Amino acid sequence: MPYLKTGFALLLCLGLCVPLSGCFEPIKDTHPDQVLTKRRALFKQFTRTLEPMGLVASGRKEYKPDEFLAMVQDLEKLSTKPWVYFPTDGNYSPTRAKEAVWSQPQAFKAAQDHYQASVQALLLAARTSQLEPVQQAMDKVINSCKACHKDFRYE
């Protein structure tokens, strides 16, 4: 029953917010190479890939090992792509990246490496076709995302 209330609240919020979304002019990406637009698109792909995996890991969606493995393989391919879109001149409005991305490049690189290692561990877990290792590895992927956002992204 709480899920029905939550779902109704979400639909109500979307119903109220979507019509207003056309009232505001989006801030344009002014960089000649459109690096902000490109990295945002890749991070949206991350989200679209991770969300169904999270539903499986939390037990809200059936675990189908072959389908899950295919999603992890897609995530692995994505895991190396966005980092080139943080060039030295990539800190401009309307970015949500913190200055630390550019002022602490070694720490930012370490966060990337940690994320990619957690994705590799998830890939190994998914190859076992067992849910418990997948759930544990998925927690590590999500925690690496949260840690990077905490240090390098304004929410």
pLDDT digits (tens, 9 = 90+) for 97-132: 999 999 999 999 999 999 999 999 999 999 999 999
- In whole angstroms, what is the distance from residue 132 CA to residue 97 CA? 34
Residue 16, in any domain of the structure: no
In the prediction, which pLDDT does 15 show? 42
- Other C-beta atoms closer than 10 Å to the C-beta of 74 total 15
Residue 21, in any domain of the structure: no
Residue 102, in any domain of the structure: yes
Binding site for heme c: which residues? 145, 148-149
Entry pTM: 0.79
Residue 70, in any domain of the structure: yes
Domain count, the chain: 1
What tokens appear for 104 in the block?
Answer: 């602490």
Residue 42, in any domain of the structure: yes
For residues 78 and 53, the answer to whether their CB atoms sit within 8 Å is no
Q: What is the pLDDT of residues 6-47, one digit of tens each?
A: 343 333 343 434 444 344 445 688 777 899 999 999 999 999
- In whole angstroms, what is the distance from residue 51 CA to residue 145 CA? 13
Residue 11, in any domain of the structure: no
Binding site: which residues? 145, 148-149
Residue 5, in any domain of the structure: no
Range of the domain at 56: 32-86+95-152
> Looking at residue 45, which CATH number applies to its domain?
1.20.120.10
